Amino acid sequence: MARDYTLHSTKGPASGINYKAELNASQYEAVSAPPGHALVIAGAGSGKTRTLTYRVAYLLDNGIPPENILLLTFTNKAAREMLDRVSALVQVDTRRLWGGTFHSVGNRLLRRHPERLGYRPGFSIMDREDQKDLLDSVLGGAAIDKGSYRFPKSEVLAEMFSLAENICCDLQEIIDTRYPYFDLVSEPIHRVHQLYREKKLETNTMDFDDLLTLSVRLLQENEDLLQTYQRMFQFVLVDEFQDTNRLQCDFVDLLVGEGGNLMVVGDDAQSIYSWRGADVGNILNFAEHHPTAKTYKIETNYRSVPEILSLANAAIEANTAQIRKSLHASRPGKGTLPALVQVDNPGAQAAFVAQRILELQDEGVDFNEMAVIYRAHFHSLEIQLELTQRGIPFQITSGLRFFEQAHVKDVAAFMKFAVNRKDEVSFMRLVRLIPGVGSASAAKLWSDWSQCEGSNEGAMTGRFSAYMKEMKVPKKAQSTWDQFGYTLDELIDPQGLPVAPAGMIHSIVEGVYADYMKAKFKNYEQRAQDLEQLSSFGSRYTDPIEFLSQLSLLSGVDTDNAPAAEATQDREAVTLTTAHQAKGLEWQVVFAIWLADGMFPNRRVLDEGSAEGVEEERRLFYVTVTRAKDELYMIYPLIYHAARDGNVLQVPSRFIADLPAGLMEPWNVRSVF
Ligand code: ATP
Ligand code: MG
């Protein structure tokens, strides 16, 4: 067996950082650990990310060249922040260091050696939209008989392929377990998969998952590259290791190799991505997998006041699958307990949050130091509305602003058209939802429709279907076109006047849109919930025109979606985020909303009845409450107006019910108007 021999740096720490003073004993131990494998496993807010940041500084301080370090994080922003921090500590150009998400590192590798995989330099990366277009073109040429059985739309196919790759399992297994209703068409799905792969190569494009799968393949199939990179990345560090999936773990193993040095940090109690293929086993079995690894535990929490920490510790207590940790607070107590706030309804919940935000700002808390956290994106609707109306700036990390989402806009387009038959934009949007109608036939339909309208002297009233029957549509589109006509008819009363908004939404969803969503979107259920929420919001209005104007006004405010969000991140704004996206972050004040059973934990998980599912939801709740440094508000509305069932009485989340009463202070909220 070969002998290990390490060359030591002759230079001492140059930065002058007093590591011992800035870290506690166990953090220091991990930061100054000798080369080899190391696992830091500790609860939320214990300084795991800080430990990694200092570890990078320490390595640089000890003469390790930046290009020999690889730092893998949950977001690119997290890596940037950590490296900025390191740059401030150590006089080294951290831009030479490899840091970022698994995907961004994969991209850098592939850019260097595309030809090894049959790709050409300058390959393009497809976003979801491009991927969908490419899949559509594959589907078009694949001669699939879509007449006899329902065939998944390109977006759904993309999700299936992606899951199979991330969990490293067979596509058939994914169909069997997650999409059993597509079992009948599994043969053509496999065929499309193959054609899609060929098409990507042919067009020199990769999708997002390829950045990882192909990187792994690149290293597996090219011994020389494997050697090069293993030598290059002498030190590999990974944050949030509890949420890595099989593929990411393989990628790390390949890069590190036998003689490498790997430090991973994480918290099994914060593993919240198993539904996307993350495997908590990666962290739990780390020591077994790497027998020489040293394990470090940190038992002090630096983030939260003890009142919040006690509540967090109690919140995770009920989970059976966990490594027990005793976490004590380093900060002094505040004397006030986390608030448990019951409010009458979602409107009151939003009013409460908005009012407290303004009061806190008056007391000197920055908007940037406040966050509203929820289980599902649609929970943010009322809050978005309220904050917009009160002029409170917010940035939303959970996705598009509610009213800008495609499904919400589609439904609104039906409503707008029912109200205003001259609305060309809405008409075009609607007809393009019909299979077989592209831009050209949509334009033709519009011109026919306007003529029809013109011949009625611009006063076209009465049933839509009567006019629509007269029009010629592509054969393939006929049945959906007819159905659109009947649905539009339901949106007006016998006098030709539009019905109330909630009724309209109901008719649209039942008549055409539910079917459309099932075939088109991978997250059909979530979008259906959104529309229910929209309908519940709509029930506040009787006049659809007023309702639609509200929608337009709300979506007209400046957007923070995707690329723009990076640019606006420094602006003073309250953060609205899902619990998943809040991972690793912290704020002085956190409002956890919709803490009712069926909302958080999520209804679907409860219906499935799996104990593991509920434990994952509980970990998500733990992630939520541990984001708060100084103040935590746990809020739930007593009554929720569901579109189908009318007023539903809600019970507080079981995660709250499980907590000892002494750990929170109930607030009685009354309104004076
Ligand atoms: P999470 O599990 O949520 O990712 P974490 O374990 O990564 O949390 P950090 O975000 O690194 O924790 O640290 C939480 C907070 O505590 C940060 O504000 C950090 O600066 C502070 N902190 C950590 N360790 C120390 C320390 N030794 N002295 C002072 N502050 C510390
Ligand atoms: Mg962290």
> Which residues lie near ion ligand 2 (Cβ < 5 Å)?
48-49, 584
pLDDT at 399 over 60: no
Other CB atoms within 10 Å distance of the CB of residue 194: 11
Distance from C-alpha of 419 to C-alpha of 464, rounded to nearest angstrom: 12
What per-residue string of b and e applies to 252-265 under the rule 16 or more CB within 10 Å gives b? bbbbbbeebbbbbb
Quick check: bond before 65 cis, omega within 30?
no
Residue 660: pLDDT band with limits 50, 70, 90: very high
Residue with tokens 């076209």: 460
Cα–Cα distances (Å) from 269 to 97, 248, 310, 594, 653, in that order, read 30, 20, 15, 22, 19
Q: What is the DSSP string of 550-567?
A: HHHHHHHSPP--HHHHHH
**Residues in a beta bridge with 640:** 648
Ligand 1 atom closest to Cα of residue 44: 2
Query: How much distance in Å is there from the Cα of 38 to the middle of ligand 1?
Result: 19
pLDDT of residue 560: 30
Of 570 and 626, which is predicted with more confidence?
626
Distance from C-alpha of 421 to C-alpha of 466, rounded to nearest angstrom: 14
Query: Quick one: tokens of 216?
Result: 């792994």
pLDDT of residue 559: 30
- Answer yes or no: is the C-beta of 46 below 6 A from any ligand 1 atom: yes
Query: Quick one: tokens of 209?
Result: 């998952």
Q: What is the DSSP string of 85-115?
A: HHHHHSSS-GGGSEEE-HHHHHHHHHHH-GG
Q: Check: CB of residue 269 under 8 Å from CB of residue 321.
A: no
Query: Quick one: tokens of 109?
Result: 């590798």
Q: What is the DSSP string of 43-70?
A: -TTSSHHHHHHHHHHHHHHTT--GGGEE
pLDDT at 601 over 70: yes
Q: Where are the beta strands (DSSP E) in 82-238?
A: 98-100, 124-125, 205-206, 235-238
Residue 341 backbone phi and psi in degrees, to 5: -115, 110
pLDDT at 455 over 70: no
- Of all ligands present, the nearest one to the C-alpha of 40 is 1
Of 48 and 200, which is predicted with more confidence?
48
Instruction: Give which of 269, 252, 343 is closest to 633, Cα–Cα.
Output: 343
pLDDT of residue 15: 77
Amino acid at 25: A
Ligand 1 pocket, mutate which of 49, 242, 272 (most atoms under 8 A from CB): 49
Amino acid at 54: Y
Q: Check: CB of residue 301 under 8 Å from CB of residue 329.
A: yes
Distance from C-alpha of 43 to C-alpha of 303, rounded to nearest angstrom: 11
Distance from C-alpha of 136 to C-alpha of 138, rounded to nearest angstrom: 5
Residue with tokens 């277009």: 133
pLDDT of residue 391: 87
pLDDT at 356 over 80: yes
pLDDT at 567 over 60: no
- By alpha-carbon position, which residue is closest to atom 21 of ligand 1? 302
**Residues in a beta bridge with 471:** none
Distance from C-alpha of 507 to C-alpha of 511, rounded to nearest angstrom: 6
Query: Quick one: tokens of 625?
Result: 């409450």
Query: Quick one: tokens of 653?
Result: 């989340």
Of 343 and 400, which is predicted with more confidence?
343
Residue 75: pLDDT band with limits 50, 70, 90: confident
Ligand 1 pocket, mutate which of 48, 50, 53 (most atoms under 8 A from CB): 50
Instruction: Kindly report, residue by residue over 77-130, the tens digit of the pLDDT.
Output: 888 889 999 998 888 888 899 998 898 899 889 989 999 999 887 777 776 766
Of 419 and 149, which is predicted with more confidence?
419
Instruction: Kindly report, residue by residue over 288-338, the tens digit of the pLDDT.
Output: 999 999 999 999 999 999 999 999 999 999 888 778 887 899 999 988 999
- Of all ligands present, the nearest one to the C-alpha of 327 is 1
- Of all ligands present, the nearest one to the C-alpha of 627 is 1
For the chain, what percent of residues have pLDDT higher than 70? Answer: 91
pLDDT at 615 over 50: yes
Helix (DSSP H) and strand (DSSP E) numbers for the chain: 30, 19
pLDDT of residue 456: 61
Other CB atoms within 10 Å distance of the CB of residue 392: 18
Distance from C-alpha of 310 to C-alpha of 332, rounded to nearest angstrom: 13
Q: Which element (helix H / strand E) includes 188?
A: helix 186-202
DSSP 512: I
Ligand 1 pocket, mutate which of 19, 48, 303, 627 (most atoms under 8 A from CB): 303
- By alpha-carbon position, which residue is closest to atom 29 of ligand 1? 302
Least confident of 4-8, 292-296, 555-559: 555-559
Distance of CA 533 to the CA centre of its chain: 19
pLDDT of residue 568: 41
pLDDT at 600 over 70: yes
Distance of CA 200 to the CA centre of its chain: 26
Q: Which element (helix H / strand E) includes 42?
A: strand 38-42
Distance from C-alpha of 407 to C-alpha of 413, rounded to nearest angstrom: 10
Instruction: Kindly report, residue by residue over 468-498, the tens digit of the pLDDT.
Output: 888 888 888 899 999 999 999 999 998 888 8
pLDDT of residue 487: 95
| Mean pLDDT score, 183-211 | 88
Instruction: Give which of 12, 28, 102, 22 is closest to 60, Cα–Cα.
Output: 12
For the chain, what percent of residues have pLDDT higher than 90? Answer: 51
Q: What angle do CA 261, 162, 137 make, to 5 degrees?
A: 135
Of 249 and 13, which is predicted with more confidence?
249
pLDDT of residue 457: 52
Instruction: Give which of 274, 272, 266 is closest to 241, Cα–Cα.
Output: 266
Q: Tell me the Ramachandran region of residue 602: left when phi exceeds 0, alpha when psi lies from -120 to 50, beta otherwise.
A: beta
* Mean of the per-residue pLDDT values of the chain: 87
DSSP 434: S
Distance from C-alpha of 410 to C-alpha of 429, rounded to nearest angstrom: 7
Least confident of 334-343, 453-462, 582-591: 453-462
pLDDT of residue 218: 97
Least confident of 319-323, 408-412, 603-607: 319-323
Instruction: Kindly report, residue by residue over 504-546, the tens digit of the pLDDT.
Output: 999 999 999 999 998 888 888 888 988 988 888 788 788 888 7
pLDDT of residue 666: 96
- By alpha-carbon position, which residue is closest to atom 26 of ligand 1? 23
Of 361 and 88, which is predicted with more confidence?
361
Instruction: Kindly report, residue by residue over 18-40, the tens digit of the pLDDT.
Output: 999 999 999 999 999 999 999 99
pLDDT of residue 458: 47
Least confident of 158-167, 191-200, 355-364, 618-627: 158-167
Query: Going by DSSP bridges, is the β-strand pair 38-42/261-266 parallel, antiparallel, or unpaired?
Result: parallel
Reported pTM: 0.77
CA-based radius of gyration for the chain: 28
What per-residue string of b and e applies to 307-336 under the rule 16 or more CB within 10 Å gives b? bbbbbbbbbbeebeebeebebebebeeeee
Q: Check: CB of residue 492 under 8 Å from CB of residue 465.
A: no
Q: Check: CB of residue 173 under 8 Å from CB of residue 163.
A: no
Distance from C-alpha of 618 to C-alpha of 614, rounded to nearest angstrom: 6
Distance from C-alpha of 358 to C-alpha of 364, rounded to nearest angstrom: 10
Least confident of 280-284, 305-309, 591-595: 280-284
Distance from C-alpha of 594 to C-alpha of 348, rounded to nearest angstrom: 12
Other CB atoms within 10 Å distance of the CB of residue 51: 29
